[in-house]
Chain A
C-alpha cells in the first residue's frame, strides 16, 4: 500500500522558511497571503500497518507539526 504523508508547521507557529519564501514572492510581484513550507514522506507499507501510529509516534512531532495522510 502506498501512503503519502504531508507534514506542515503547526498553525500559529512561526515558520521562518515560509516567511522568507513569502517575502521573496511578494517582492517579485506575486499576490501571496501566506506560505508554509513543509515536507512530503512517501511510504510503501504492508497492508494492516497502523499508519496513524507510525506517523504520530515516528514521523511527526505533534507539538510543532501537523499532518495530512493521503
Chain B
C-alpha cells in the first residue's frame, strides 16, 4: 500500500508516521509538501500531528487553505482513504471533510498522557481489525482537542455511526473523569458519512511498538493495510 504523508510548516509527527509505515509495517511511504497539488497514485493520505502554521488563527485553519489541502479534499471526494491525527484531525474539520470543530481544552492546559479509548465503530477501513467495544491504550498530546458539534448534528452523526472513538475508563465505561479535554460525549475520533475519512486526537503512531509502552495503535495501521 502506498501512503502519502502531508508535511506542512510545523508538522512534527511526520517522521513518526513514516517510521511506522515504512519500518514497522514495511509499506511504501512518501512525504508530500504542502505546496503540492496532486495526490494521484496514493492509496492513503495521512495528515500527521504537529502545529501547522503555528496554530495561528485556529489550529488547522491556515493549513486547510493550502494547495495540498485542496488536493486532499479532491482525493477524499473521489473515495480515497484519509487519516488525520491530532493536528491532522483539526485540519480535516477546518476543511469540512469531517463535521465539528476542535476547541481549546476545557482546563486550558496542554495535555500529554496515555488515555483509554473505546472503539464504537469497527466497520470503517481504519478500524476493521478491531472489535466494537474494544478498549485501546494510546497517548494524547494536544492543547486544542475539545471536540464540539451542535446537538442536532451530533444526533445525525450517531445515527450514521460516525462516532468512532470515545475516551473511557480502563474497563470501557464512559465517564466524565475519563474525558481529558471536555469533548462533547467523550468523543475522541470521528469519520465522515462514507467512512473513508477518519480523524482522531490520540496518536496511534506513538503506540505502535512495545518499546513505547503500547502497540494498540498498530490495530489502526493493520486495519488499513489488510
Contact = CB atoms under 8 A, between A and B. Distances in A.
Interface in A7-62: 13-14, 16-17, 20, 58-59, 61
A64 interface: yes
Interface size for chain A: under 10, 10 to 19, 20 to 34, or 35 or more residues?
Answer: 10 to 19
A17 B109 CA distance: 11
Main secondary structure of the interface of B (DSSP, over half): loop
A13 B148 contact: yes
B104 interface: yes
Contacts of B61: 61
A1 interface: no
A63 B65 contact: no
B101 A63 contact: yes
A17 B148 CA distance: 16
Interface size for chain B: under 10, 10 to 19, 20 to 34, or 35 or more residues?
Answer: 10 to 19
B148 A61 contact: no
Contact of A16 (B58, B104, B148): B104
B212 interface: no
Interface of A: 13-14, 16-17, 20, 58-59, 61, 63-64
Given A14-B106, A61-B61, 6 more contacts: A13-B148, A16-B182, A61-B94, A63-B100, A63-B101, A63-B149
